[in-house]
Amino acid sequence: MNKNDKEQNTSVWVKNLTVKFGSFTAVDHISFHVNSGEIFGFLGANGAGKTTTIRVLCGLLEPTSGEVRVAGLDPKKGLEAVKARVGYMSQKFTLYPDMTVDENLEFAAALHKIPSEVHKRRRAEGLEIIAFKAKTRQLVSELSGGTKQEVALVAALLHDPEILFLDEPTAGVSPVSRSRFWSIIRGLSHRGKTVFVTTHYMDEAENCGRIALMRDGRIVALDNPANLKKDTFPEPLYELTPRPGVKSDWLKNLRKDKAVLSVKPYGMRYHAIVSNARRWRELSRRMAGDFKARPIQPSLEDVFIRVVEGAK
Amino acid sequence: MKDPVNLNRAYAIAFKEVRHIWRDPFTLGLALGLPLLMVLFFGLAMDFNVHDIHLTSYDSDHSRSSRQLLETFESSGYFLLRQEPLIGNITEPLDANQAKAVLVIPPHFGRYVVSRMDSPVQVLIDGTDNSTAGVIGGYMEGIQSAANSRLANVSVSPVVTLKPRYLFNPELNSRWFTVPGLAAVVLAIISILLTAMTVAREWENGSMELLLSTPVHPVEIILGKLAPYVVLGLSAQALIYFLARFYFGIPFMGSHVLFILGTFLFVAAYMALGLLVSVTTRQQILAMQFSMMIGMLPNILLSGFIFPIENMPAFFQYLTMLFPARWFVLVIRGCFLRGSDLAQLAVPLLAMLFMATLFVTVAVRRFKKDVEP
C-alpha cells in the first residue's frame, strides 16, 4: 500500500496531540489514526482525556500542540469544513426535551442547511435504521432513554457525515437498549461510516475494531481486542471459585506461591494470572479443597485492569 | 473559506427559542406577569400624595375660636381629627404612632384671638418620615391663612403673590411620575434576566456544545436567541403602556415612534448585559442572582425613577450617566408627560444608542471568544 492509499483510508490522524488547561495536562502527546469505516473505541476512566480528545477532533477545542487531520482536513485551516464532515453526539446533552422528535430533527437539519427534500429522505432512512416505533410528534421527554439516544444518533447523521463521534452514547441506558444501539453502530460501520466511540462499558468495547486504552491523558495500549488480550496476557488466566466454608488464609498462601503472578477479586470469584503452568497444575491439585480452577480467556475488563490499573 | 452568517440558521434558532418560551410557562409569566404586577403594585402603593393624616388635638381653651380652628383643619380634607383631654405628655400620640401630628391649643386662645393679639398654636409633627412631614408642613401654611380669615376676619392680602402652575402634571399626581419611570426598572430586569437565563441554560444542559459542533456561527446563535426576547421586551413595554394610559389614566403627549425607538435601544442594551452575565456565570441560578442585582439596584436608585438626580452629590450625578436607565427615564417621561420631540430627546437617545452599541459589541465579542476554540 503506498502512502496515498493509506491517507485515503485514514479518517482521523493524530500526531503528538497535547491539550493543557492551565497547568493541568488533559491529553499528553497522543498519536493514533483511525481507518475509514472502522469502529474505533476509546476506553478509559473518567478524566482520562477521552472527551477532550473528541472535542479537539470535532473542532470544539483548540489543541495546545500537535497535528490533527479529520476527514483529511486540518481544523486549523477551517473549522466549518471539518464540522460539516463530522457528526457529534455529546455525553451530556442529546436532544431538547421540550421539543418533539420532528422539531429536534428539523432543527438539526436547519443548522446544517440541509434542503427540505434531502432532510425528509435522510430522516426517513435514519428512523428506519433505528426502527423507530414511537410517534415523531411526541415530545422527546416522553421517550425512553434508549430511544432518545437512537433519535440523537439520527440527528447526528442527518448531514451525512463521514465520521461519527459518539461520546459515551450508552451511558445510563438499559442493557437491552445498549446492545440494540451497538448493532445500529455496527450497521453504520458496514455502510462505510467511521465511528469513533468512547465508553467505559468493557463488554461494549468488544464491538470495536480497535481500541485505545487511555490513562492520565496518554494512550497506554492500542490494538484490536484479540491482540490486546494476547499481548496483555501471554500467561494463562484462571478463574477461581472458592469452595464453600473454606478458611480465608488460602488466598494468602496462593499469593505467596511463585506459580501465581497475581490474584484479583472478581465479584464472588477470583482471576489468577499464572506464571508457571507446571507448578500451577501441582498447586491447584494440592489446593483442590480450597477452590475450583477453570482456565478462561481474558476479557477486556481483565486487560483494562492489568494495563490501566497495573501501570499505576 | 469562511461560511458567511446565515439568517436561515439564525431563524431556526429563533424558532426553536419561541418553542421553548411557548412550552415554558415560567418565561412567559415572567416576561408579562412581572411588568403587570410591578406596575400595579408600585402604581397603587407608591402614592406620595398624603391625605387622611391622623391629627390629635388638645384643646385647653374650649372657646368658639378654638372650635372654629379645629373645624378649619377638619374641613381641609387632609386631616382626621381626634380630640383628647390633655393628660400627661403631649407627645404621647406621636410616641405611640397614633398620630402624625399633634395640635396644642393653649388656654385663653379665644381671648387672644378676639382681642387681636398674637395667638400662637403649637403643632408637633412626626419627623421620622420626612416626606410626609414636609407635606404636612406645607398644608399648615394653607390652613393658617384660612384660619386667619375665618377666625379674625383678617384676610391677608400680600403685595406679592406667587401663583405656581404645575406644567405636565398639574395636580402633581405622583402616579404620573412613578408609573412611566417604573418601565425602566421592569424592562431592565426582564431583559437582562431572560437573556442571561436562556443562554445560561444552553451552557448548563450542554446543548451549547452541540450547537457549536455544527457549522453554526456565534453571531447566528446570538441573533436567533435574542430576537424572540426583543419581541417579548417590546410586548412587556406595550403592556406597561396600556396600563399607564387606560388604568392609571396617564396622558401620552409625545411620539410613539420615539417611545418605541427608546424602548428598543434600552432593551438591546440590557439584553447585551444579560449575555455578558451568562457568558460569565454559565449557570442559571447564578445568572438569575446577578441579573436581579444589576437590573434592580442601580435602576431604582440611580435612574431618577424615584430619587431626583439633581439632589445627588456631584459624583453620583455623573455616575448615573453610565446607566442606560437614567436616559430611558428621561425619554419615557418626555414621551408620556412632556410631549418632547426628537430634538429634545436627542441627547438621551444618542446616549442610549452609544451604550447599546457598546454593550452589544462587548457582549458579542466576549461570547464569540468564549465559544470559538
Cell numbers 435601544: residue: B265
Nearest to B214 among A93, A99, A111 (CB): A111
Contact predicate A197/A169, CB 8 Å: yes
Over residues B330-339, the pLDDT tens digits come to 999 999 998 8
Q: Which residues of B334-363 are buried (b: 16+ CB within 10 A; e: fewer)?
A: bbbbbebeeebbeebbebbbebbeebbeeb
Which residues of chain B make contact with A59, given a CB cutoff of 8 A?
A: 213, 373
Nearest to B16 among A83, A107, A113 (CB): A107
Q: Do B206 and A92 touch (CB under 8 A)?
A: yes
DSSP letter assigned to residue B91: T
CA-wise closest residue to B80 among B62, B64, B99? B99
The answer to whether residue B161 scores a pLDDT higher than 80 is no
| Average pLDDT for chain B | 87
Q: Do A83 and B213 touch (CB under 8 A)?
A: yes
Q: Do A61 and B216 touch (CB under 8 A)?
A: no
Number of Cα atoms under 13 Å in the Cβ half of residue B306: 14
Cell numbers 435612574: residue: B303
Over residues A219-271, the pLDDT tens digits come to 999 999 999 998 888 888 899 888 888 777 888 888 888 888 888 888 888 88
Q: Do A113 and B373 touch (CB under 8 A)?
A: no
Which residues of chain A make contact with B25, given a CB cutoff of 8 A?
A: none
Burial class (CB in 10 A: 0-12, 13-18, 19+), B116: exposed
Nearest to B215 among A60, A84, A106 (CB): A84
C-alpha cell at A197: 466511540
Higher pLDDT, B122 or B149: B122
Q: Do A88 and B24 touch (CB under 8 A)?
A: no
Min Cα separation B359/chain A (Å): 26
Q: Do B8 and A84 touch (CB under 8 A)?
A: no
Q: Do A78 and B216 touch (CB under 8 A)?
A: no
Q: Do A60 and B207 touch (CB under 8 A)?
A: no
Q: Do A80 and B2 touch (CB under 8 A)?
A: yes
With CA atoms as reference, the chain B residue closest to A93 would be B206
**Is residue A112 helix, strand or coil?**
coil
The tens place of each residue's pLDDT in chain A, 312 residues long, gives 444 445 567 899 999 999 999 999 999 999 999 999 999 999 988 888 999 999 999 988 999 999 999 999 998 888 888 999 999 998 888 899 999 999 999 999 999 999 999 999 999 999 999 999 889 999 999 999 899 999 999 999 999 999 999 999 988 888 899 999 999 999 999 999 999 999 888 888 889 999 999 989 999 999 999 999 988 888 888 998 888 887 778 888 888 888 888 888 888 888 888 888 888 888 888 888 888 888 888 888 888 888 877 654
Over residues B304-334, the pLDDT tens digits come to 888 888 888 999 899 999 889 999 999 999 9
> What's the rounded Cα separation, in Å, for the pair B92 and B98?
8
Question: Are β-strands A237-242 and A218-223 bridged in parallel, bridged antiparallel, or unpaired?
Answer: unpaired
Nearest to B216 among A60, A96, A111 (CB): A111
Q: Give start and end residues of each alpha helix (H) in chain A.
A: 3-8, 50-57, 79-85, 101-111, 116-129, 145-157, 175-190, 202-205, 225-232, 249-256, 277-286, 300-304
pLDDT, residue B244, reads: 92
Contact predicate B322/B316, CB 8 Å: no
Over residues B343-357, the pLDDT tens digits come to 999 999 999 999 999
> What's the rounded Cα separation, in Å, for the pair A46 and A168?
11
pLDDT, residue B304, reads: 84
Q: How confident is the model at residue B24 (pLDDT cuts 50, 70, 90)?
A: confident
> What's the rounded Cα separation, in Å, for the pair B277 and A73?
36
Which residues of chain A make contact with B14, given a CB cutoff of 8 A?
A: none
Mutation site, A53, A55, A93, A139, interface B, largest B CB count within 10 A: A93
Average pLDDT over residues B112-117: 82
pLDDT, residue B292, reads: 86
Q: Do B20 and A83 touch (CB under 8 A)?
A: no
C-alpha cell at B296: 434592580
Cell numbers 424592562: residue: B187
> Bridge-partner residues for B125, per DSSP?
B101
Q: Give start and end residues of each alpha helix (H) in A191-312.
A: 202-205, 225-232, 249-256, 277-286, 300-304
> Bridge-partner residues for A35, per DSSP?
A10
Over residues B246-257, the pLDDT tens digits come to 998 899 999 999
Q: What is the 3 state secondary structure string of B115-160?
A: CCCCCCCEEEECCCCHHHHHHHHHHHHHHHHHHHHHHHCCCCCCCC
Min Cα separation B234/chain A (Å): 25
ipTM given for this complex: 0.82
The answer to whether residue B17 scores a pLDDT higher than 50 is yes
The answer to whether residue B87 scores a pLDDT higher than 80 is no
Q: How confident is the model at residue B6 (pLDDT cuts 50, 70, 90)?
A: confident
**One-letter amino acid of A127:** L
pLDDT, residue B348, reads: 94
pLDDT, residue A8, reads: 62
Over residues A71-98, the pLDDT tens digits come to 999 988 888 889 999 999 988 888 999 9
Over residues B168-220, the pLDDT tens digits come to 877 777 788 888 888 888 899 999 999 999 999 998 888 998 999 998 988 89
Longest Cα–Cα distance in chain A? 74
Over residues B219-250, the pLDDT tens digits come to 899 999 999 999 999 999 999 999 999 998 89
Cell numbers 416626606: residue: B131
Nearest to B1 among A81, A90, A108 (CB): A81
Contact predicate A169/A154, CB 8 Å: no
Residues of B with CB under 8 A from a CB of A: 1-3, 6, 8-9, 11-12, 15-16, 19-20, 23-24, 205-207, 209-216, 373
Q: Do A111 and B211 touch (CB under 8 A)?
A: yes
Q: Do B9 and A113 touch (CB under 8 A)?
A: yes
Contact predicate B325/B188, CB 8 Å: yes
> Bridge-partner residues for A198, per DSSP?
A42, A167
Reading phi first (left if > 0) and then psi (alpha if -120 to 50, else beta), residue B206 is in left
Strand order in the sheet with B79-83: B79-83, B53-59, B101-105, B122-125
Q: Do A96 and B16 touch (CB under 8 A)?
A: yes
Min Cα separation A129/chain B (Å): 22
Cell numbers 425512553: residue: A144
Burial class (CB in 10 A: 0-12, 13-18, 19+), B67: middle
Q: What is the pTM of this model?
A: 0.80
E-strand stretches of A22-77:
24-35, 39-44, 65-70
Contact predicate B224/B11, CB 8 Å: yes
Torsion of CA A287, A289, A291, A294, to 10 degrees: 80
Q: Do B213 and A88 touch (CB under 8 A)?
A: yes
Which residues of chain B make contact with A80, given a CB cutoff of 8 A?
A: 1-3, 215
Which residues of chain B make contact with A113, given a CB cutoff of 8 A?
A: 6, 8-9, 215
- Give Cα B110 to chain centroid, integer Å: 47
CA-wise closest residue to A111 among A141, A88, A132? A88
> What's the rounded Cα separation, in Å, for the pair A11 and A9?
6
